[in-house]
């Protein structure tokens, strides 16, 4: 999970819970958030902590202040290079 905080910082987090136990650990991936143009957010990070999986499934979701989904993208295949 990528966590975007209101202060401009971002964390790459890995699920470490069990079932409904929503526990996350911050990965040492040094993510950097930038906005190359208005309305576009770019996050760059070291993909090594994600392991060597050839394809990773990702989904983008916008959450409200109560952590409820407001909108979501399709589930996408991402191939780290």
Q: Which two three-digit tokens encode residue 31?
A: 């993510």
Asked whether residue 54 carries a pLDDT value surpassing 80, the answer given is no
Which CA distances in Å does 60 have to 12, 44, 69?
13, 15, 10
| Interval 1-42: pLDDT, tens | 888 877 878 888 888 888 778 788 888 888 888 889 998 888
Residue 80 has a pLDDT of: 73
Asked whether residue 53 carries a pLDDT value surpassing 80, the answer given is no
From CA 70, how far away is CA 42, in angstroms rounded?
Answer: 20
| Interval 57-69: pLDDT, tens | 888 888 888 878 8
Residue 48 has a pLDDT of: 83
Residue 37 has a pLDDT of: 92
């Amino acid at each position: 999970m990528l966590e975007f905080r209101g202060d401009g910082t971002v964390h790459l987090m890995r699920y470490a819970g069990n079932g409904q136990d929503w526990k996350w650990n911050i990965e040492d991936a040094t993510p950097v958030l930038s906005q190359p143009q208005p309305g576009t957010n770019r996050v760059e990070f070291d993909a090594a902590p994600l392991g060597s999986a050839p394809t990773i499934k990702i989904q983008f979701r916008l959450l409200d202040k109560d952590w409820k989904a407001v909108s979501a993208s399709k589930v996408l295949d991402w191939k780290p290079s």
